[in-house]
Structure 1
Amino acid sequence: MFDSVVLDIAIGLIFVFLATSLAITAGNELLASLFKWRAKDLAAGLRLLVGRDDGEARAGQPDITRVLYQHPLLRGLHRDAATGGDAKAPSYIPPRMFAMALLDIALRPADGTGQLVAGNIAEMRAQIESKRGELGNRVTDTLLTFVNHVEIDARAAANKLASLQRDVEAWFNAGMGRVSEVYRRRAQLWSSLLAVFFVAALNLDAIRITRSLANDPVLRASLIAQATEAVKQETPPARVTPAAPPSEGDKSPLPAPAGETAPSATAGALRQLQTDISTINQLGIPVGWEDNPPQPNVWWWVNKVLGLLLTGLAASLGAPFWFDVLKKVSSLRAAGRMPPPPDTSNTRRDQPDPA
């Protein structure tokens, strides 16, 4: 029975989970902006990729990470750099920019003048080897490996530098894949913690909400109408979640909005969080502890903790998940009942054949 009350209650509850997930996403974005997780994770991943470990530091190996950050191509990506303020580490580096900056450092003559050494394989190999003291053993050996690959690749004969740049980009993307995984795990952990906080603070009890939906047809109709409008969108009504994987070919942490400084990004995340909480309050569902004060009854507490846990676990799954579920359940409801077969019991048997 596709148009049953039970299905309407399910759609309303799923829509509440979606709204709660959006608030959690906004809270996660606010924390990421306040603590600069993207920039810190990117710097750590870059240092792991091209920097030096403890053994190399003791051996006097250089740290190319600082040199890369000061390169003109990457310097412009730093926040506040364009406005003349104190430049902060970028939260995103395009793979192409990284490859161009690293090759510019490695293939430019030591005096910093002249064109890049990219005439033939022997000259490129000699130039990179001459920069070992500046690049360090790890980066030098990696670039020499790429040069060897270009040498044996017949397709690279036309443009050796472009082929070398593609290899460096692929190397950077592979390294940044580990950064994204670390960022995802932290974001998922904080999403779970924020879900517990939001659900407990707003008293978003799944059991209590279900009872309200079952007893209030007006509330059900209101949530169904809002859910119907939401599923008309092709994408979830949400920002990209921090836990979501980056697009193909872009393995670095998710960037902050372009052109925004750290304070404005933080303020934007705070405004979005306030908007999402206000949306939850305007859904009409029972929210808050005023009309549902704690009771000394043990069973009341068991029921309350179970309802809060259900909402918290559901909301921590993320807005994209609940948006997909909402679309599927809404399409099931929109299908309606199958029309009954035509009634032929009263058809006259002596009626002439139309043929």
Structure 2
Amino acid sequence: MFDSVVLDIAIGLIFVFLATSLAITAGNELLASLFKWRARDLAAGLRLLVGKEGDAGAAGQPDITGALYQHPLLRGLHRDAGTGGDRKAPSYIPPRLFAMALLDIALRPADKGGQLVTSSTAEMRAQIESKRGELGDRVTDALLTFVSHIETDTRGALGKLDRLQRDVESWFNAGMDRVSEVYRRRAQLWSSLLAIFFVAALNLDAIRITRSLANDPVLRASLIAQATETVQREDPRATIPAAAPAPTNTALPEPAPETAPSATASALRQLQTDIGTINQLGIPVGWEDNPPQQSVWWWVNKVLGLLLTGLAASLGAPFWFDVLKKVSSLRAAGRMPPPPETIARNEERSA
């Protein structure tokens, strides 16, 4: 049962879906880098958090986003844009640094020697209220709520400033959860669009690939060998052939600390590598070998096969990697197939 050709074909097809999903992920990363989605979403989420966007009274509210970005604690997170010397907005802000920067702005008066007002909750409340015009209503009210929380908490395990900083960090994390959700929805939309584009451009027809796997034992054995090693190494890119090594890109929360041009170039290299990977798998790719006269039934078959691949690939590489591990574990219970070289030699002898 576990050594059936059907199971071999399933593993090979899942491995193809995994390779296609990796290319779609790389394409998504390239778009995110080109259009600076992370930095823009972060800035929009930050403005929403501090009361500039999405507020009925936003027209009369100050925007402290610029002051936060220019704070020394956050200024170092800006990325180099290249040789021009410009600095690009960060794609990620650690919650602790955000809390420290905001509290530094809110609790540091100009007329008290630069020392934070932290001696009592009453003084903290008064200092925050005095900065309402600078901070805006939403930030001021949020900080005053956190100060009230300190007053009503009788545990006293932490200092007042530490408790306030923890509350601000939690507030920031809740706001960034919304940003991550916006990014995730956009990424899913573009994954679907990229899946349609890649599948149509490369003619990745699930029906045609299945037929090739059913008729070509060498191809089946080759894909199974790669899939098995990939599962054993717990890395979806571990054994897929690549023209050049490239770093794995992640979606959120924290991208690699690269400059903007190098991040885009890295994403482009990864996309080229993943497309080259699909071409090297040995599966039928491209439109060159299609018959010159296509019937209506041929087109129905073709559209159905492309839709199947596109829908499958849009589910994402993590999904297909998990499926591959589960299906491979079923196959591991049976006899492993001979390597592709042995199959090829046996076919030559029988010919």
State the TM-score, normalized to the length of structure 1.
0.88
2:299 corresponding residue in structure 1: 301
- SS of residue in 1 equivalent to 2:233: coil
Q: Which amino acid aligns with 1:122?
A: A
Output aligned runs, 1:48-197, within 5 Å: 48-53=48-53, 55-59=56-60, 61-80=61-80, 85-111=85-111, 113-156=113-156, 158-197=158-197
Counterparts of 1:299-338 in structure 2, within 5 Å, are 299-336=297-334
SS at match of 1:150: helix
Closer, same or farther in 2 for the Cα pair 1:292/1:81, shift >3 Å?
closer
Residues 80, 87 of structure 1: 8 Å contact kept: yes
Partner of 1:212: 212
Contact 1:51 1:65 in 2 (8 A): no
Output the CA distance in 2 between the equivalents of 1:280 and 1:234: 20
Specify the alignment match of 2:346 in structure 1.
none
Q: Quote the Cα distance in structure 2 between the aligned partners of 1:284 and 1:276.
A: 14
Distance 2:202 2:112 in 1: 60
Change (3 A) 1:70 1:22: same
Q: Retained in 2: the 8 A contact 1:5–1:214?
A: yes
How far apart in 2 are the matches of 1:334 and 1:157? 53
1:257 CA drift (Å): 1.1
C-alpha deviation, 1:65, in angstroms: 1.1
Aligned partner of 1:287: which letter? V
81 and 224 in structure 1: CA distance in 2 versus 1, 3 angstrom threshold: closer
What does 1:38-49 align with in structure 2 at a 5 Å threshold? 38-49=38-49
Contact 2:81 2:260 in 1 (8 A): no
Encode CA deviations 1:83-120: one digit per residue, 9 max, x unaligned.
88211111000000000000000000134842111111
SS of the aligned residue for 1:93 comes to coil
The answer for unaligned runs of 5 or more in structure 2 is 239-247, 336-351
Percent identical: 85
Report if the CA contact (8 A) 1:106-1:131 is conserved. yes
8 Å CA contact 2:109, 2:117 repeated in 1 = yes
Deviation per residue, 1:189-233 (Å, 9 max, x gap): 000000000000000000000000000001011001000111012
Contact between 2:121 and 2:151, CA under 8 Å: does it hold in 1? yes
Specify the SS of the correspondent of 1:156. Answer: coil
- In 1, the alpha carbon distance for the partners of 2:267 and 2:169 equals 31
- The aligned counterpart of 2:341 is none
3-state DSSP class of the match of 1:280? Answer: helix
User: Where does residue 30 of structure 1 map in the other structure?
Assistant: 30
Runs of at least 5 residues in structure 1 that lack an aligned partner in the other structure: 243-252, 338-355
Distance 1:10 1:129 in 2: 65
Q: Structure 1 residues 264 and 241 mapped into 2: Cα distance closer, same or farther (>3 Å)?
A: closer
Change in CA separation of 1:95 and 1:20 when aligned onto 2, cut-off 3 Å: same
Displacement after TM superposition at 1:182 (Å): 0.5
The answer for the alignment partner of 2:254 in structure 1 is 255
Whole-angstrom distance in 2 between the partners of 1:83 and 1:166: 39
The root-mean-square deviation of aligned C-alpha atoms, in Å, is: 1.8
Change (3 A) 1:160 1:293: farther
Distance in 2, matches of 1:158 and 1:217, equals: 66
**1:293 Cα deviation from its structure 2 partner:** 4.6
- Give the direction of change, closer, same or farther, for the CA distance of 1:170–1:208 in structure 2 (3 Å limit): same
2:268 is equivalent to residue 270 of structure 1: yes
Question: What CA deviation, in whole Å up to 9, does each residue of 1:134-186 have, x standing for no partner?
Answer: 10111011100000001111233641100000000000000111111010000
Segment of structure 1 superposing worse, 48-57 or 213-222:
48-57
Distance 1:10 1:169 in 2: 47
Partner of 1:347: none
Bigger mean CA offset, 107-116 vs 232-241: 232-241
Match of 1:249 in 2: none
> Does the CA contact (< 8 Å) of 1:204 and 1:308 recur in 2?
yes
Residue identity in the other structure for 2:329: S
Greater shift, 111-120 or 14-23, is seen at 111-120
Number of residue pairs matched by the alignment: 325
